[in-house]
């Protein structure tokens, strides 16, 4: 939990706050806004106090929750739910901030080095994380579709401790390169080599982006756990089972024919190739994702259906391309498989259903799709080194990582040249010396007075 308070603490303007901007990016007040506090036990939320608390509004577009944490407050996890209407007739929008209440004896006493604090600020600016995403924009997060009832959790992308860790790893990398190594700390680098701060930050960015990649996996698109998938064992036997059960079997320590086939790389599912041919392809992984804050949609095609998160992709039959579930429309077609034939299926109904804590997905390298037992074709999780990623987002992350690595290597090369040139300029063979009242010094490795070039 990145934001914590203690019993008896009075919250102010910079604790649980929210900034609202309109579609043009200018601060704007809401037509109505309120908040409620909930105590969270596992996944169950219990309302604490009034359900429609009124926040303080010190400036246009700025709001904060001003209340006193009760002395006898339960320790643990809490959420604050903001309910907002942009205009009087606008639909309600709800966003969520998570925080915790801990014992005052557990609050660590920390002294932040000023040099490190400066770098943390620079890192957040460099990564566009200079504010928690408490700046709520009255526009869709993805730029697609109208805002109906958005439900977002917001806060910092990276905590200070994480950024310090990435900065320290970056320092380790810098110390690996000759000719100048052994910089003992981040603060030492900032003090002694201020021009190297950008190199340090770029190196830290590589670690931060890698962590962001892993962090995003928890929020990946996926399919509800009760949806069945048919798998094929090496001997040709077909087994249909819920995808969450397949996940449990494949990731358990027990040995079954399914788990053995999975570990041997011989568990297969039906997939559709780019040319429309149906083949049996290897299941490289079965993934589970936390999706409790995502909308879950049921897409019905007459006698068959699929339930998945709104950002999960199904397939359009013509052209044969992935299409987000949120973009599927009633009366349109999605891809399906009957027997070994790839066919269009007419969508007869789309409905929102209750979200669940977890949802699941398969990784099928090559076609990047698989056929559910219902016959509906679903997109899969793209995998890099066993890590499941959406193909488009993984390429974006890879691109950012490559760019950061390229920049870091350029900075290291420049730093190496700077050290060599600086050392070279200190050598007498370049004709640079210091003349004192006693004249230039001569001796081993020092130019004689006749060849000495005075700086004065």
Lowest mean pLDDT segment, chosen from 146-160, 178-192, 214-228, 346-360: 146-160
Q: How far apart are CA 165 and CA 170, in angstroms?
A: 9
pLDDT in tens, 367-409: 889 999 999 999 876 443 333 444 455 555 566 777 777 888 8
Q: How far apart are CA 361 and CA 370, in angstroms?
A: 10
CATH architecture of 4-154: Sandwich (2.60)
Structure tokens at 141: 């997060």
Contacts of 174 (CB under 8 A, 6+ apart): 181, 183, 189, 196, 199, 200, 203, 412, 415
Sheet holding 56-59, edge to edge: 56-59, 62-64, 17-21, 135-137
For position 312, what pLDDT does the model report? 87
Chain centre distance of CA 256: 35
Lowest mean pLDDT segment, chosen from 137-141, 257-261, 352-356, 409-413: 137-141
pLDDT in tens, 170-228: 898 888 876 667 788 888 888 888 888 889 988 888 888 766 655 554 445 689 999 99
226-385 in CATH: which number?
2.170.16.10
- 92: nearest Cα among 103, 104, 81: 81
The C-alpha angle with vertex 338 and arms to 332 and 341, in degrees rounded to 5, equals 90
CB-count burial class (<10 Å; 0-12, 13-18, 19+) for 454: exposed
For position 451, what pLDDT does the model report? 38
What are the residue ranges spanned by the domains of the chain? 4-154, 158-220+390-425, 226-385, 428-456
Lowest mean pLDDT segment, chosen from 138-142, 152-156, 356-360: 138-142
pLDDT at residue 348 tops 90:
yes
User: Taking the model in full, what pTM does it have?
Assistant: 0.45
Q: How far apart are CA 124 and CA 166, in angstroms?
A: 12
Q: 204 and 129 in contact (C-beta within 8 Å)?
A: no
- How would residue 289 be classed by pLDDT, with cut points 50, 70 and 90? confident
For position 431, what pLDDT does the model report? 41
Q: How far apart are CA 64 and CA 280, in angstroms?
A: 55
Structure tokens at 381: 């999780």
pLDDT in tens, 423-440: 544 444 444 343 334 444
């Amino acid at each position: 939990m990145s934001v914590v308070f203690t019993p008896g603490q009075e919250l102010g303007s910079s604790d649980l706050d929210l900034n609202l901007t309109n579609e043009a990016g200018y601060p704007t007040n809401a037509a109505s806004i309120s908040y409620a506090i909930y105590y969270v036990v596992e996944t169950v939320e219990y309302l604490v106090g009034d359900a429609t608390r009124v926040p303080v509004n010190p400036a246009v577009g700025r709001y904060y929750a001003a209340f006193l944490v009760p002395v006898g407050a339960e320790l643990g996890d809490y959420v604050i739910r903001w309910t907002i209407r942009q205009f009087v007739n606008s639909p309600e929008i709800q966003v969520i901030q998570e925080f915790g209440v801990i014992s005052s004896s557990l609050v660590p006493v920390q002294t932040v080095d000023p040099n490190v604090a400066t770098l943390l600020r620079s890192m957040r600016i460099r990564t566009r994380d200079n504010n928690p995403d408490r700046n709520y924009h009255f526009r869709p997060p993805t730029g697609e579709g109208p805002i109906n009832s958005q439900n977002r959790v917001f806060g910092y992308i990276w905590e200070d401790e994480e950024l310090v860790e990435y900065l320290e790893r970056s320092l380790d990398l810098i110390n690996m390169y000759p000719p100048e190594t052994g910089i003992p700390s981040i603060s030492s680098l900032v003090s002694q080599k201020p021009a190297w701060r950008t190199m340090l930050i770029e190196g830290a960015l590589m670690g931060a982006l890698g962590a962001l990649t892993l962090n995003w996996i928890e929020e990946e698109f996926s399919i509800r756990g009760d949806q069945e998938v048919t798998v094929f064992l090496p001997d040709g036997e077909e087994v249909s089972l819920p995808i969450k059960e397949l996940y449990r079997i494949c990731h358990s320590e027990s040995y079954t024919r399914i788990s053995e086939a999975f570990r041997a790389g011989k568990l297969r599912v039906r997939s559709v190739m780019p040319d429309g041919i149906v083949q049996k392809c290897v299941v490289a992984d079965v993934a589970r994702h936390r999706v409790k804050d995502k909308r879950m949609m049921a897409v019905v095609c007459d006698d068959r259906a699929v339930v998945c998160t709104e950002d999960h992709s199904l397939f359009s039959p013509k052209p044969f391309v992935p299409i987000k579930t949120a973009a599927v429309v009633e009366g349109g077609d999605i891809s399906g498989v009957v027997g070994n034939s790839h066919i269009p299926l007419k969508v007869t109904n789309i409905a929102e259903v209750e979200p669940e804590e977890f949802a699941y997905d398969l990784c099928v390298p090559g076609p990047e799709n698989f056929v559910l037992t219902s016959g509906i074709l679903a997109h899969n999780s793209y995998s890099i080194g066993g890590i499941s990623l959406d193909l488009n987002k993984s390429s974006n992350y890879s691109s950012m990582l490559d760019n950061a690595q390229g920049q870091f290597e350029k900075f290291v090369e420049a730093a190496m040249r700077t050290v060599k040139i600086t050392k070279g300029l200190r050598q007498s063979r370049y004709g640079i010396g210091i003349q004192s009242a006693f004249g230039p010094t001569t001796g081993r490795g020092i130019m004689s007075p006749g060849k000495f070039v005075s700086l004065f």
